[in-house]
Amino acid sequence: MESTGFAHWLVVLVETFALLFVLLLVVVVLVVAVVWVLDRNQTHNSVLRNYPVIGHFRYWFLHLGEFFRQYLYSSDREELPFNRAQRMWVYRAAKNSENTNSFGSTRDLRGEGVPFFVNAAFPSLGDHHVDPKPVRIGPYAREPYDHAAFFNISAMSFGALSAPAVRALSIGAKKAGIWMDTGEGGLAPYHLEGGCDIVFEIGTAKYGVRTPDGKLDDQKLLAICAHKQVKMVSIKLGQGAKPGMGGLLPAAKVTPEIAEIRGIPVGKDSQSPNRHLDIGNVSQLMDSINHIRDITGKPTGFKAVFGDMGWINELCEEIYKRGIESAPDFIIVDGSEGGTGAAPQTLMEGVGLPLHEALPGLVDTLTTQGLRDRIKVICSGKCITAYDVAWALSMGADFVNSARGFMLALGCIQSLQCSRNTCPTGITTQNPRLQRGLVVTDKSERVAHYAKNVMHEVGIIAHSCGVDDPRELDRTHCRIVGDDGISVPLISLFPYPKAPEGQKASELP
């Protein structure tokens, strides 16, 4: 009886599965038939019109290709914006893992534009411990800022980043002794949570410090700068990913919390203007810098993408008219390689000077105008490894900022989903389910390790070149490979200009 009952239920189970299979097959056939009819009769896509149903596979494979290439098909040095070798370097540095390789480098040392450093014949004995000296920013501000670390976190807004990502960056920055730039999205509690130094950025929409009509609200700015952690104020004129275009925060990311911090409506796309409403020329920029510095007491400067240095010459002339104290305390030069913000491909790939031209252009212009010591130079633009940072210091930067390097330290896998609210690692999404994957206690440690290891390995380069402080690296210490595969000294490509004789910034009235 038991075997008969078992056989009966087995037959019922098989029949049920068979029925479900038939129903599923019917549904599939109906769906395919409907798609075939729709594809065959639509007029906007010739591939689907000629190859209904199967033509969709082309687009699926095209979409999936970027993910499969990353893991299966590309070599270590092929991918952009960052190849596997670069990403793995950052991952190992963030995990504080062994960062040595065997059997030689996979980097093509004969490729045009590749920088490498000139080692000293007799470097100093001892280790390469990095202990950079503090650099003073804003000597004429009521609260000058002395900061030693030459590698810091670049502008990334809360809203573009998730709350756990901002918290991890803040805590990690404090542990590493580096600053964190808020980006244009206002000051969130998560920026302050870790206790790190903060650079507050004012974007073109003046998020967080705006009046209802988009102008600067002095009282809101004073309230933000009352926090002791806020050390400097940066006026964002533009960013490398989209020079001449304002930022866009998609509606899906404008949560009630983000809307309150920024001072914008909930659940609507937030498009910032392509420039500040009150800054339309050099004179107005100077007015804004001096107004913000006067009311806050904080060192104040600006961030820009450069097309040429003509307007910087004009800025310097305006400084001489007003007096040395009126100069911006710093300039952040963002290369056109910048890319954390979502932007049209045309702007991202075709507008603005890349950092390897913009940085020396700015440094040399300030030098010829006698203002290099007065105005500190900060740069950003794909500087994520130690030799990227060492190159920037050699070129003349006082500080180097990185955004995507720290995103990789947080666990970014370069899935290119930043603007879609679907980031699989929880970094650039406001989806709580995806944010859960980012564990703040773990990722903050990785942020700190990454910053410390970058500075440590820049110290290794400096020590090998025969200097004790990485900021002592200059254009004699670096060579650049030309189109013939032969390197030339960086100083021959960008010779040091001379400051005007008898004119020093420190002697200006």
Q: Examine the domain organization and report whether 360 and 432 are in the same domain.
A: yes
> Look-up: residue for tokens 């060492």?
390
The tokens of 462 are what? 């400096």
pLDDT value at residue 236:
95
Q: Examine the domain organization and report whether 152 and 292 are in the same domain.
A: yes
Q: DSSP characters for 55-115?
A: HHHHHHHHHHHHHHIIIIIS-TTT-SSS-HHHHHHHHHHHHT-----SS---S-TTSTT-E
How many other C-beta atoms are found inside a 10 Å radius of the C-beta of residue 187? 23
Q: Examine the domain organization and report whether 69 and 156 are in the same domain.
A: no
pLDDT value at residue 507:
42
| Secondary structure in 3-state letters for 370-429 | CCCCCCEEEEECCCCCHHHHHHHHHHCCCEEEECHHHHHHHCCCCCCCHHHCCCCCCCCC
Pick from 24, 43, 73: which residue ends a domain?
A: 73
Say if residue 436 is exposed, middle or buried (CB neighbours under 10 Å; 0-12, 13-18, 19+).
Answer: exposed
Say if residue 8 is exposed, middle or buried (CB neighbours under 10 Å; 0-12, 13-18, 19+).
Answer: exposed
Residues 270/205, Cβ–Cβ less than 8 Å: yes
Residues 285/236, Cβ–Cβ less than 8 Å: no
Total tally of structural domains belonging to the chain: 2
Residue 129 domain flag: no
Q: Examine the domain organization and report whether 62 and 141 are in the same domain.
A: no
Q: Examine the domain organization and report whether 267 and 401 are in the same domain.
A: yes
Pick from 32, 53, 73: which residue ends a domain?
A: 73
Residues 502/181, Cβ–Cβ less than 8 Å: no
Round to whole Å and give the CA distance between 78 and 83. 6
On the question of a cis peptide bond just before residue 81, with omega within 30 degrees of 0, the verdict is yes
pTM listed for this prediction: 0.84
- For the cut 90, the answer to whether the pLDDT of residue 227 exceeds it is yes
Round to whole Å and give the CA distance between 262 and 429. 17
Q: Examine the domain organization and report whether 172 and 302 are in the same domain.
A: yes
Q: Examine the domain organization and report whether 61 and 148 are in the same domain.
A: no
pLDDT value at residue 376:
98
Mean per-residue pLDDT for 418-429? 80
Round to whole Å and give the CA distance between 222 and 230. 11
Q: Examine the domain organization and report whether 412 and 279 are in the same domain.
A: yes
Mean per-residue pLDDT for 387-393? 95
pLDDT value at residue 202:
96
- Predicted confidence band of residue 509 (pLDDT cuts 50, 70, 90): very low
Q: Examine the domain organization and report whether 69 and 145 are in the same domain.
A: no
Say if residue 129 is exposed, middle or buried (CB neighbours under 10 Å; 0-12, 13-18, 19+).
Answer: exposed
Residue 359 domain flag: yes
Domain of 429? Answer: 135-507
Residues 264/184, Cβ–Cβ less than 8 Å: no
pLDDT value at residue 111:
76
Round to whole Å and give the CA distance between 306 and 160. 24
The single-letter code of the amino acid at 405 is: G
pLDDT value at residue 508:
42
pLDDT digit string, tens, across residues 66-100:
566 655 556 555 666 767 778 888 888 898 887 77
Residue 465 domain flag: yes
Residues 124/132, Cβ–Cβ less than 8 Å: no
> What's 219's domain CATH number?
3.20.20.70
> Look-up: residue for tokens 């940072």?
389
Q: Examine the domain organization and report whether 307 and 424 are in the same domain.
A: yes
Residue 46 domain flag: yes
Pick from 73, 95, 119: which residue ends a domain?
A: 73
Residue 103 domain flag: no
Q: Examine the domain organization and report whether 144 and 64 are in the same domain.
A: no
The tokens of 187 are what? 């000051």
pLDDT digit string, tens, across residues 310-359:
999 999 999 999 999 999 999 999 988 776 556 667 776 677 789 999 99
Residue 406 domain flag: yes
Residue 102 domain flag: no
Q: Examine the domain organization and report whether 18 and 152 are in the same domain.
A: no
pLDDT digit string, tens, across residues 275-318:
898 999 999 999 999 999 999 999 999 999 998 899 999 999 99
